[in-house]
Structure 1
Amino acid sequence: MRIAQITPYYPPHMGGVEIHVKNLTKALSERHEVDVVSSNSGDVVVPSIDIPYSPIPVMKVDVRADIYHAHVPSPFFANLFRGKKPLVITYHNDVVIPERVSGFRLPAFGSRIAEFVNEKIVRRILDEADAIIATTHDYALTSPILREYMDRVHVIPNGIWVDDFEYRREKEDFLLYAGRLVEYKGLGTLISALEGSDVRLVVAGDGEDRGRFEKLVEVKRVKAEFLGRVSYDTLKDLMSRAKALILPSKTRLEAFGIVLLEAMASGTPVIACNTPGVRFVARHGGFVFDSVEELRRIIESLDDAVVRRMGRRGRRYAERHDWRMIAREVERVYERIL
């Protein structure tokens, strides 16, 4: 089978969709020919206007495939292949433009227009899709767009390479945040939950709001260490040693949380904000919270017995999400529409 994976960006550009497509391509390539189409790298690079998060292709390309598999929410690359058949769309998340982007506060009116335009284009794409993939029922059923297409939705979760992660029972006395340092990711909520405590927080990642978070740590008297961007090997080591990993993202831009699976594979409990999709994953190896006070209580409850029990549960759940298993599920969707 010849498969075209169509994505706005591809590594070395980094993001959740990029990582997903890279690993799905790797797993599918064990049995199929896979061409990656993107704006920046891959097998077919399409000249594009590089609008952040949504590059706009400026020319059509002739890509021959048995399956065209495009990834949204960024719609312009998927729209480029809208007339191709059969067409599969992976709907990663809704578009909810944050109040601040790249450190600047955006006008609410402009954000609403951008969200409206994105929705119109995405709906046209979904109308023509032969199959739609969502990562959880929880997210799909709560999406104002995706819930209208449930007759064509196939739920296939994100994956990880399970063997990449060391399962470690004995943990060290620190909490881990791993992700971009931007407001909507919710790090401020975590810092507030640790206000005045003796709990040590390790922050792996960088972003435009790092300075704001470093100042907040000083104000709240939190014992936090900012490592900046770290290597994948360093991140895996931190995950295996941490007492818990916390994903406090509070918007629908976070629909699954691959980092949760990675921590679970390491035998590390997870704590996540009670948002659709993310909460479904987190409950299989940890806890969800609705408020700063509840997050604080969960952190205080993390004794050795709880950590080990949740670590074992999470590892069992993660083992069912190896990329080779996930790729098989995707292949079955392809076979149904060929």
Structure 2
Amino acid sequence: MTARAHSVGILVFDGMKMLDLSGPAEVFAEANRFGARYRLGVVSPDGAPVRSSIGLLVPAEADARSAGPPDTLVVVGGDALPGSPVDPRLIDAAKALAARAGRVASVCTGAFVLGAAGLLEGRRATTHWQHTTALARRCPSTRVEPDAIFVKDGATYTSAGVTAGIDLALALLEEDHGPDLARRVARSLVVYLQRAGGQSQFSASLRGPAPRTPVLRQVQDAVQADPAADHSLAALAARVRVSPRHLTRMFRAELDVTPVKYVELIRFDIAKALLDSGHNATEAAALSGFPSYESLRRAFARHLGLSPTRYRQRFATTVPDAGPRPDGG
């Protein structure tokens, strides 16, 4: 007896990111070459074709109301979603499809559609690192995980930016058919089955918004001006003429972090920028204020799940790296 095909409905709309559609779709289509049975269908709110982010017209097979119940619903993202209210027609389409779906997933900013449809209430979720704060504001009952590549909460899945939709699709494939088939598809597509580190490795900064309080801005300016100087709690408090205890309270109240941790985050950002500009890891450690390469390596492991050397290899150039240099670069 032949197993029933697993239907994957992909909800699209004008301005959608093309890779949010094509990335996961290629994973499921490639799986079919190895014996899986996925049936892909593109759905728009009204059944009309939509214009993608790159200008290509994407035809839809059905509208959200008349489409068959998907075993898996995938909601793609779009650049306008974090900054604008979600179109009510798109919200209604997501609700209608999700009510009939076995599981619901979003790619990148598609999480804003799920959030607007009430599908993330009380759940854990993620989205592109640039927009996790906006998602948390828009969905206050949702626990947003900014570093996750993808998050599963029950039958609801959300993923980080753009290519993370491929990671999510591989995870769904592994749930359906096991790790062997998922591994074969990953190898065929020349992607990792599970990439090292979270999405923070791609972000521009870990510090978040600049502090509003003048005293805290003084601390930030002092560390950025001379990251290798003494920025212990006692030294910082003396510099801004408050007690160490009061300074700690101020940091916790506004930024929810200790002064020592904040100094590390600034130094970490500086080290990342130095690696990006071509410095080796030992130089980056010294110039950014870390006492040793080992302390920088531990910070990278905490924040990114990568060593400074691996980070530099991944982001410094598109030329394949010949291996670590003896100086720690």
TM-score > 0.5, shorter chain as reference: no
Q: Please, what TM-score do these two structures have when normalized by structure 1? A: 0.33
Highest CA radius of gyration, 1 or 2? Answer: 2
The one of the two structures with greater contact order (alpha-carbon pairs below 8 A, sep at least 6) is 1
Q: Please, what TM-score do these two structures have when normalized by structure 2? A: 0.34
